[in-house]
Copies of this chain bind each other. A is one copy, B any other.
Amino acid sequence: MNERITLAHGAGGIQTSQLIGGLFEKYLGGPHFTKDDAAVLPSPQGQLAMSTDGFIVSPAFFPGGNVGKLSICGTVNDLACMGAKPLYLTCSFIIEEGFLYDDLERVVAAMAETVNRVGCEIVAGDTKVAGKGQADGVFITTTGVGALTPGAAPAGSRARPGDAVLVTGDVGRHGCTILLARNSFGIDADVTSDCAPLWAPVRDMLAVTKDIHVIRDATRGGVGTVLYEVAGESQVGIRLRRADVPVKDEVRGVTGMLGLDPLYLACEGCMVVICPQEKVPAVLEALRRHPETKDAAQIGTVTEEQKGRVVVETEVGGETLLSRPTGELLPRIC
């Protein structure tokens, strides 16, 4: 089918109803999915977490995923970073006139598959169509509500000297994938985005211990930016061992050629976890049970000295300050 999205699909009339019924409801419909103005939902016990994220990645389709899968993973992972079980998601589409209906269907199907994998549901949506040249393909904003896990309170300000710094998988893969998909460097590397929803590994980690000080997903800005944020918010130093940072060979190859640091490339299925050193074996064991976090590893420790800074022990035994990037790392990566 070669049908394209038209302005009429966004104008609120019959074509909008057909798009909602024929596509969004078909894939995303569930017990609480609403065609009314708002979904009606049971209020969870205890405290809520709420998070929103806009996704404008270019290109919309990339090895390992598409903007639809990414839009669910991003919001699910933001909730998971607070130790919150994702419950309800909304999605808002801004679609460029002329976008292929079949491509939109692939995006929505990927959203449905990811939502089902996580075990949460999409309860409400919205569609707007912008004129040709007034948006780029499809933009998706997802918002999620989750239920906090009682007893868990991870926060960027809770890193303590002596804590261990872990990552849940190899770093920089999403950023590297988008870089290659966007630019023709003449590099032929088989890199796939790490884009994945991480609630299940986080849930199992919190089942092992609630004493997790920080969980933060390393999206825009990558692991390096997260570590600087935490060092600042917790007023601690962070000491990394470069050799312990898991990086896939193909990512190492590409970033080496281009002079980039994988620590500053976005991940979409990798989190930084900071916890007491004695919890590390149990935490790593819980994480490694899941395919998307099987390469979890400790990469450093939190220190009393060098407050606000991230120090790297290099592969050759030296020591250097991780440089802070300014400006655009790599725009439109998520």
Which positions in A face B, CB cutoff 8 Å?
A: 6-8, 10-16, 36-56, 58, 77-79, 81-82, 84, 88, 90-94, 123-131, 133-136, 139, 141, 143-148, 155-156, 216-217, 219-221, 225, 266, 324-332, 334
Q: Which 6 interchain pairs have the tightest Cβ spacing? A: A12-B220, A38-B51, A143-B143, A52-B90, A141-B141, A12-B221
Residues on B with beta carbons closer than 8 Å to the beta carbon of A326: 8, 13-15
- B52 pairs with A328, CB closer than 8 A: no
Q: Do A47 and B52 contact each other (CB < 8 Å), given the known contacts A8-B327, A136-B130, A220-B11?
A: no
- B36 pairs with A156, CB closer than 8 A: yes
Residues on B with beta carbons closer than 8 Å to the beta carbon of A328: 6-8, 10-11, 13
Copies of the chain in the assembly: 2
- B51 pairs with A37, CB closer than 8 A: yes
CA distance A71 to B7 in the complex (A): 20
For the complex formed, measure the closest distance between the CB of A299 and the CB atoms of chain B, giving whole angstroms. Answer: 20
- A50 pairs with B126, CB closer than 8 A: no
- A331 pairs with B54, CB closer than 8 A: no
- A11 pairs with B125, CB closer than 8 A: no
For the complex formed, measure the closest distance between the CB of A189 and the CB atoms of chain B, giving whole angstroms. Answer: 23
Contact with A38, one of B12, B39, B94, B146 (Cβ below 8 angstroms): B146
- B125 pairs with A92, CB closer than 8 A: no
Residues on B with beta carbons closer than 8 Å to the beta carbon of A325: 13
Residues on B with beta carbons closer than 8 Å to the beta carbon of A41: 47-50
- A225 pairs with B12, CB closer than 8 A: yes
For the complex formed, measure the closest distance between the CB of A131 and the CB atoms of chain B, giving whole angstroms. Answer: 7
Contact with A36, one of B8, B90, B155 (Cβ below 8 angstroms): B155
Q: Do A40 and B130 contact each other (CB < 8 Å), given the known contacts A11-B220, A12-B219, A325-B13?
A: no
Residues on B with beta carbons closer than 8 Å to the beta carbon of A38: 49-51, 78-79, 81-82, 84, 144, 146
- B133 pairs with A133, CB closer than 8 A: yes
**Which B-chain residue is minimally distant from A84 (CB atoms)?**
B38
A52-B92, A52-B126 known; 14 new pairs, CB 8 Å cut-off, are A7-B331, A13-B328, A14-B326, A37-B82, A38-B78, A38-B82, A38-B146, A42-B48, A43-B46, A48-B88, A53-B92, A90-B143, A92-B143, A131-B331
